[in-house]
Structures are given as C-alpha cells and as structure tokens.
Amino acid sequence: GNSVTQMEGPVTLSEEAFLTINCTYTATGYPSLFWYVQYPGEGLQLLLKATKADDKGSNKGFEATYRKETTSFHLEKGSVQVSDSAVYFCALIETDKLIFGTGTRLQVFP
C-alpha cells in the first residue's frame, strides 16, 4: 500500500539556519502531497501542498517540490525562526483518505 516516510527528529537548529525535513513516499500513480504543521497542544494546519509532479508548494517561507523521479517532497526554509518550532507531517492522498508520515519535531533556539 501507499506510505510516507519522514526523517526522524528532533531537528534542532539555531535561529536563521537553513531547514530541510526529508519526506519520501511510495504510491501508485501521482497522488497529491501535503505538509501539515502542528504547534504544541493544537490540531494540524495545512502548510503547503502540490498536486502534480514538478509542482512547488510554498507558504510562510516554506517550500517543497514534488519530485516523481526521487519520489520525494522535502520541506525547506531558508531562515527558520523560534516560532517555527513545531511538529511537521508529510502526507499523501490515497483514494478517500490521507496517509501521514510519523512527523518530525523541529526545535529552533535563539
């Protein structure tokens, strides 16, 4: 079946550092891909999405490119802030539901 694999965390960075969180997927066809963010004690918020190969999703300085050759959808940000500290989930659509990765915790220190 379809699946999503994320790098294990926590990822610990200093403010203004470059961020990459790896996400790879296994799927039949080319499903839509998503990044969600969860701040402490809250639900998930959609951060960005890409619906077809080579699409780039972007929001709040975060970017991810749908790469079918490497079946990847890595999340990047050029300069992280303390307020970016959260858990990030990569996900894909499978027919009628989302398949989530296990999440990657990001900790940003001043």
Binding site for another protein (CB under 8 A): 32, 34, 36, 41-46, 49, 89, 93, 95-98, 100-103
CA distance 56 to 98: 19
Cis? peptide before 110, omega within 30° of 0: no
Question: In whole angstroms, how close is the CB of 44 to another protein at the nearest point?
Answer: 4
Nearer Cβ to another protein (2/17) = 2
Given CA atoms 21, 25, 29, 31 in this order, what sign does their dihedral have? negative
Q: How far is the CB of 108 from another protein (least distance, A)?
A: 19
C-beta of 6: minimal distance to another protein in Å?
8
